[in-house]
Amino acid sequence: MNPKIENRRAFLHQSAALSTAAAATGVFGLPELYANQPALPDDEKLGVALVGLGSLSTNQIAPALQKTKRCKLTAIVSGTPAKQEKWAKQYDLTPEHIYDYETFDKIAEDESVDIVYVVLPNGMHCEYTVRAAKAGKHVFCEKPMAISSVECRQMIDACRKAERLLGIGYRCQFEPHHLKCMELAKSKEFGEIKEIIAGFGFKIGDPKQWRLNKKLAGGGPLMDVGIYALQACRYLTGLEPDLITATETKTDPVKFAEVEETLAWTMKMGDVTCSCNTTYAFNGVNNFHAYCDNGNFGLEPAYGYGGIKGKSSKGPIEFEQVDHFAAELDHFAECITEGTELKVPGEEGLQDLLILEAIFKAAESGLAVKPESM
Ligand code: NAD
């Protein structure tokens, strides 16, 4: 084993153990975390360019990039001059590191940028990932990876050809409550998982937003937030769905003319039955729960940026909340500089898209569908 990796593992275990007393208040100790690395000096941090300065970039990612230990914000891409000006002031960015969608490809010559982080509407992820890879940059892309498995494959190919890493923004895979649940599942703390119930949805507002536009969003709540429930089923079981059934409910055919409104689906994953749902019609669904041979465990709320709570038949699952975005970005930066294994590569995004496509197919046909394999 590479001594650097061995040392890092030892450090992670040690720092996790040291912080257990302070950070774990439930009945389980902290899981192995990915955000405990020591901070690098500023001039050794990798540079990140944010593409798309909407709600997520403004409220979550840019603030996270002020806390990251291995990367920092060095450039922005926006089509709105007022936003460019505001961000330049707020984050001390000079004009040569500010791009719009036409000048984006010039980022190839910007040595301050190592990673391009794509935070655009889903239907634009493929184009900007391919362009970023051609510019010689590593790419971190928000979920869902793209609007089709065909696009996902193009993105993977482009990054492979450019010999750059491609990571997908599955932030829950870096969150202590989720990581502990993965450990509980893997160690069979409660015996074999028999059934999982998982769902995520919210009541959507503005009927003109891109999330309701098929070309830009690829689909409705399933692509946007149902994907979290799918991810949970996959990382708890470590299995892929054999067969899927799905039912759609539409009460507002005008607002939801292009995308689904509410969708319930089941997945047979080995001997585990998963029942999932997603919606843009009402608030409150935000959970997963695993029922096992000798007990049960789960999270609710499960998928927010904070406030995650867990419970089990042995007692609460409780840890300090962490910044999911800082954790996933530091992990990505570490994989680039240290050559360590990426937890959330493009293939993970492609696998989800293949399953999402099968869920849509099952809803349309009313038949049980087997997802295509990678
Ligand atoms: P948003 O609408 O707030 O921002 C989108 C940005 O894209 C805006 O700055 C907009 O100006 C820009 N844009 C460029 N071309 C556009 C076009 N043709 N149409 C519309 N906007 C255009 O969206 P958001 O909530 O920031 O979501 C962006 C991405 O991040 C999506 O892929 C979404 O799924 C993902 N997301 C992830 C999380 C998470 O927790 N990981 C949370 C929210 C959103």
The per-residue pLDDT for 253 is: 98
Radius of gyration of the chain (CA): 21
The per-residue pLDDT for 22 is: 39
Q: How much distance in Å is there from the Cα of 121 to the middle of ligand 1? A: 4
pLDDT at 278 over 90: yes
Please give the residue that has the higher pLDDT: either 1 or 50: 50
Q: How far apart are CA 53 and CA 63, in angstroms?
A: 12
pLDDT at 194 over 70: yes
The per-residue pLDDT for 2 is: 37
CA end-to-end distance (rounded Å), the chain? 29
Task: Catalogue the E-assigned strands of the chain.
Answer: 46-51, 71-77, 98-99, 115-118, 138-141, 166-168, 193-201, 243-249, 262-269, 272-279, 286-292, 295-299, 310-312, 315-317
Per-residue pLDDT reduced to its tens digit, 220-262: 999 999 999 999 999 999 999 999 999 999 999 999 999 999 9
Per the listing, tokens 């893997």 go with 186
The per-residue pLDDT for 36 is: 61
Q: How much distance in Å is there from the Cα of 74 to the middle of ligand 1? A: 20
The per-residue pLDDT for 13 is: 35
Q: How far is CA 120 from CA 71, 91, 99, 124, 144, in A?
A: 20, 20, 14, 6, 11
Give the chain's domains with CATH numbers.
Answer: 3-172+327-343 (3.40.50.720), 176-319+353-365 (3.30.360.10)
Model confidence band, residue 32 (pLDDT cutoffs 50, 70, 90): confident
143 in contact with ligand 1, CB cutoff 6 A: yes
The alpha-helical segments, DSSP class H, found in 73-199 are 81-91, 125-134, 149-161, 176-186
Per-residue pLDDT reduced to its tens digit, 315-361: 999 999 999 999 999 999 999 999 999 999 999 999 999 999 999 99
Q: What angle do CA 343, 158, 5 make, to 5 degrees?
A: 30
Q: How far apart are CA 365 and CA 247, in angstroms?
A: 10
Q: Which DSSP symbol is given to 327?
A: H
Mutating to test ligand 1, I would choose from 50, 102, 120 the residue with most ligand atoms within 8 A of its C-beta, which is: 120
Tokens of 354: 């293949």
259 in contact with ligand 1, CB cutoff 6 A: no
Q: CB of 123 within 8 A of CB of 218? A: yes
Model confidence band, residue 35 (pLDDT cutoffs 50, 70, 90): low
Model confidence band, residue 33 (pLDDT cutoffs 50, 70, 90): confident
Cβ neighbors of 103 (< 8 A, separation 6 or more) are none
Handedness of CA 330, 64, 222, 125 (dihedral sign): negative
pLDDT at 311 over 90: yes
Query: Which residue's CA is minimally distant from atom 10 of ligand 1?
Result: 54
Beta strands 71-77 and 310-312, pairing class = unpaired
Please give the residue that has the higher pLDDT: either 12 or 207: 207
Measured from the Cα of 223, ligand 1's closest atom is 34
119 in contact with ligand 1, CB cutoff 6 A: yes
Model confidence band, residue 169 (pLDDT cutoffs 50, 70, 90): very high
Measured from the Cα of 210, ligand 1's closest atom is 20
Q: How much distance in Å is there from the Cα of 52 to the middle of ligand 1? A: 7
99 is catalytic: no
The per-residue pLDDT for 25 is: 85
pTM of the predicted model as reported, rounded to 2 decimal places: 0.94
Q: CB of 139 within 8 A of CB of 316? A: no
Q: How far apart are CA 366 and CA 343, in angstroms?
A: 34
Measured from the Cα of 122, ligand 1's closest atom is 32
Q: Which DSSP symbol is given to 77?
A: E
DSSP 157-187: HHHHHTT--EEE--GGGGSHHHHHHHHHHHT
Cβ neighbors of 354 (< 8 A, separation 6 or more) are 149, 371, 372, 373, 374
Q: Which DSSP symbol is given to 337?
A: H
Lowest mean pLDDT among 8-12, 55-59, 125-129, 130-134: 8-12
Task: Please give the share of the chain, as a percent, with pLDDT higher than 90.
Answer: 90
Q: What angle do CA 277, 346, 235 make, to 5 degrees?
A: 45
The per-residue pLDDT for 14 is: 34
228 is catalytic: yes
Measured from the Cα of 224, ligand 1's closest atom is 34
Q: Where is 11: in which H helix or E strand?
A: helix 3-23
Q: How far apart are CA 158 and CA 135, in angstroms?
A: 11
Q: How far apart are CA 322 and CA 35, in angstroms?
A: 9
The residue-averaged pLDDT of 257-279 equals 98
